[in-house]
Structure formats: structure tokens, C-alpha cells
Amino acid sequence: MVNLSICVGSACHLKGSYEVIEKFKTCVENNNLNDSIVIKASFCLGQCTEAVSVKYKDNIYSVTPETAEKFFDEVIKKSIA
């Protein structure tokens, strides 16, 4: 089981962190990865200027609601497969 943490601090919230969370939830369900990934809301990940910050396997990425599905497919899904 791996953790996928999405910052919900002020800067990330304003840039759509809750939309990113919802898109990730949909991706997890659509790919039957409920037993492999835990989605967690997190407070500041220290990358406020690069919001929305997403932490996955000790790396921090910048994701937007528009790029969330692509990020999931290219980074998360590939690392689990």
C-alpha cells in the first residue's frame, strides 16, 4: 500500500487541491487500485509556489486539476504496474 498525499494548505487549496483529490479518487477506482493506494489530504508540503503539491514515494510533484489524470497514468500507475 502506498500513500498519495495532496496538500490542502492555503495556496494549494486556492489552486484546486480538492479537485485534484477527486480526480485521483476516480482514477484509483477506475483502475481497481483501492487496495494499492491510500489518498490523504496533507497540510503544507513546502512547495507553495508550485501548488498543487502532491507527495508520492518521497517525491513532491506539482499537479493541477487539468494534469491530474495524466500525472496519475504516467507516474503512479506506471510505478505500481
DSSP one-letter string for 7-71: E-SHHHHHTTHHHHHHHHHHHHHHTT-TTTEEEEEES--S-GGGPSEEEETTEEEE--TTTHHHH
| Each residue's pLDDT tens digit, 64-73 | 999 999 999 9
Residue 80 within a domain: no
Q: What angle do CA 2, 38, 64 make, to 5 degrees?
A: 95
**At 51, is the pLDDT very low, low, confident or very high (cuts 50, 70, 90)?**
confident
Let me know if residue 20 belongs to a domain.
Answer: yes
For residues 23 and 48, the model is more confident at 23
| Total count of domains within the chain | 1
Which residue range forms the structural domain that includes residue 55?
Answer: 2-64
Please report which helix (H) or strand (E) contains residue 5, including its range.
strand 2-7
Q: Which of 63, 58, 75 is nearest to 8 (CA)?
A: 63
The CATH number given to whatever domain includes residue 41 is 3.40.30.10
Band (pLDDT 50/70/90 cuts) for residue 61 is very high
- Copy the grid coordinates of residue 16: 484546486
